[in-house]
A and B are shown apart, each in its own frame.
Chain A
């Protein structure tokens, strides 16, 4: 057996309030695909960030080709031959494909100028590794490409550095089936070239198709290690490792499900087509699909942020047409954004201020910030207590809290508004496992109190476990519906299969 290219030993890492990793050891060899699996919040991303030098481990060591390394900056790991493809794109939309591929290491002529011709040629060469190469013009602006193609560029960028270790963090999140196949071929090519690949995913199908070995992380620890790819059930068992019935709140009984809160018929806009759906009181509806399938667009349309321009939306029996989030909130809709830091929190304000943001927004501007027609600090504090938010004080800046507690503060924002329809986008992204169950139970409690809930998540087990019904989207349309208990396979298939799109 070849010696490992990367060896991580006894890695421990804590964040304020959370132990993200405890004594994790991990290795990957040249020419193999090592799958790193685990639920959201199991510690996969943290481990990778330690590998690449974004974070520093509290304890443990990283060895590259047998030598201990200490990267203090991602650039250092990049120079050492470790390329990481992050979930968040790091592409510059205003620059061309070629410029992005060679960002920071452009080929130069002997006069020191950028060799545009060579850059384009090399870009073509790198892109030729990918089946999508034909579609990608190195001179196109990245901003003009669709999400899947951007993903390819992102991967090509990592590959083009000549890295010996490539880390792919859920690379298929935005890809349809055909594109996934292309990606798998690419991974195979890289493996044949002797590149060590760390492949992060929680999709069993990809593990079966690609992986040579599997490491399962759970709650910041290695839950299992497989030197050959086992049956998916074994991986799932190691990944979840607990009684699912307890982890997710029980589904709604038929008595709990009431009249439709929301009905949408034939609605659409420039990104959504022919949308029809119902959400009933007491029901949690999951919305699955790959990135770019239009799930967020649908949420934003319902929420008035980028409204429908056709079709009919009924909320609680009345026809509505929300043109702004404010109008939607007045109408009884709430939304928890997916990018907590970017779209959810006001980071420099206190926990209490974050919880009271919406209620204050609907009280008169000139009324007291502590007690007014809509909001009351005492009541908010009680609510925060009730939700068991852990903070030194509710006057503390919210940025110091853990993700789970931050998310709870946003939930608290909506609780005081008593919305009829609540939309959760990626409700547990970046939240540690212990807090996740709390969020699921919270959602269920809200539903029991009569709200309809629409939940968008890229975490399929979550959608399956937490929702009473699952709708699948693809290319701006709702293409399938599954009852509670559908299999991951079926949903993935519905979300990614090639379809004839009616013009």
Chain B
């Protein structure tokens, strides 16, 4: 008889965890508005500027959507940053300035992402290697292979492909709409498909999922594939945005740790089984807002780092402090 078994059922109705990301987001936005007005820079509150904020962290957002899937199945992926670099370079090299090669390049990048995800997933679910170690190792391997062959910007992205990063539909950047579409798609997958339901089951209680006939290993592998494919898309986006791929762009953006931080701030628990894509999107917006607040408040870049570290911990504590579980 466990302690939990005797626990009183939770009260229905208001569920703090569900609304916490929104509360944090509203808080961050309030601070942004407050700072903009307080420093007498109302020009930062225009529509254009808000769109610019939304568009700040597209690559991070795409990566974080993928990361949400693996964290939901109680895994984690530290290889996304290296993979972003690898796919950006690959795409840019394959395209090499030729519009005709755009499609093959996109395919090549996605295939690379899928293969990396497949390997990650198999190592995690098949060899039972702790996902942190498995994907850290994978990250080193990718980065090593990459820098062995490429040491600078390689290839060139034709103008037609730059539409991905720079195109606009009306007042909205194309990439922003793409991110939104991707988020909706991810949400729909998690909400309406059996696969999505299985993800929550595997992350929530792997044993129960297995007893219900869910092929848990397959779900873990698939989630890793999705995560890596998202990273590959982020790599494509960055190649388009930077007009070329370079072997350091993933690591420079710290997409591995930041995507995890974004997901966790968005209310998805590291232990898996709880959370979702909209929380992650809120987490991404919080990051963008913090960045913008720092910029308009003119915070010194070193102080910025200190604050960012504290904010990550504080935001996670905002959820975690209410839990009674012992964490390590």
Contacts and interface: CB of A to CB of B under 8 A. Distances in A.
Nearest to B189: A113
A163 B6 CA distance: 30
Given A74-B211, A144-B10, A291 B5 contact: yes
Interface stretch (A98-106, A183-191, A484-492): A98-106
Given A94-B204, A296-B3, 4 more contacts: A75-B212, A79-B213, A113-B193, A429-B1
B194 A106 contact: yes
Interface string A86-119: 0000111111000100011110100011101000
Contact of B193 (A114, A144, A295, A305): A114
Interface string B301-319: 0000000000000000000
A39 B184 CA distance: 54
**What 8 A-B pairs are tightest by C-beta distance, nearest first?**
A104-B212, A338-B1, A90-B208, A296-B6, A75-B213, A103-B212, A92-B204, A104-B213
Contacts of B213: 75, 78-79, 104-105
A143 B204 contact: no
A425 B208 contact: no
Nearest to B15: A141
Interface string B220-256: 0000000000000000000000000000000000000
B201 A92 contact: yes
A426 interface: yes
Contacts of A323: none
A114 B192 contact: yes
A188 to B, nearest CB: 27
Given A104-B201, A300-B3, A92 B208 contact: yes
Contact of A339 (B2, B196, B201): B2
B270 to A, nearest CB: 14
A103 B197 contact: yes
Contacts of B6: 271, 291-292, 294-297, 300
A140 interface: yes
A458 interface: yes
Contacts of A223: none
A141 to B, nearest CB: 7
B3 A113 contact: no
Contacts of A58: none
A426 B6 CA distance: 14
A270 interface: yes
Contact of B273 (A94, A294, A429): A94
Interface of B: 1-3, 5-6, 8-12, 192-194, 196-198, 200-201, 204-205, 207-214, 273-274
B193 A112 contact: yes
B194 A95 contact: no
Chain A interface category by residue count: 35 or more
A256 to B, nearest CB: 29
A140 B193 CA distance: 19
B197 A99 contact: yes
A145 B9 contact: yes
A74 B212 CA distance: 8
B13 to A, nearest CB: 9
Nearest to B12: A144
A342 interface: yes
A75 B210 contact: yes
5 contacts: A92-B201, A270-B8, A294-B6, A342-B2, A456-B1
B322 to A, nearest CB: 15
A264 interface: no
A478 to B, nearest CB: 15
| A contact patch SS | loop
A144 B3 contact: no
A227 interface: no
Contacts of A295: 6
Given A143-B9, A297-B6, A90 B1 contact: no
Nearest to A92: B204
Interface in A131-190: 140-141, 143-147
Contact of A343 (B3, B12, B212): B3
A73 B209 CA distance: 13
A342 B5 CA distance: 12
Q: Which has the most chain B C-beta neighbours within 10 Å: A295, A296, A305, A426?
A: A296
Contacts of A300: 3, 6
A103 B209 contact: yes
Given A104-B214, A114-B193, A91 B10 contact: no
A343 B210 contact: no
A305 B208 CA distance: 28
B16 to A, nearest CB: 13
Nearest to A113: B192
A249 B214 CA distance: 48
Contact of A103 (B8, B11, B196, B214): B214
Contacts of A338: 1-2
A233 B85 CA distance: 76
A108 B198 CA distance: 14
Given A75-B211, A292-B6, A339-B2, A114 B11 contact: no
Contacts of A78: 211-213
Nearest to B269: A94
Given A92-B273, A144-B9, A145-B9, A343 B197 contact: no
A95 B193 CA distance: 14
B277 to A, nearest CB: 15
Interface in A452-479: 456, 458
Nearest to B13: A144
A90 B205 contact: yes
Nearest to A292: B6
Contacts of B274: 94
A315 to B, nearest CB: 22
Contacts of B208: 90-92, 103
B19 to A, nearest CB: 15
Contacts of A75: 210-213
Interface string A371-384: 00000000000000
A425 B1 contact: yes
B10 A143 contact: yes
A292 B192 CA distance: 34
B210 to A, nearest CB: 7
Contact of B207 (A90, A141, A271, A306): A90
A305 B1 contact: no
A114 B197 contact: yes
A69 to B, nearest CB: 16
A116 B214 contact: no
Nearest to A109: B192
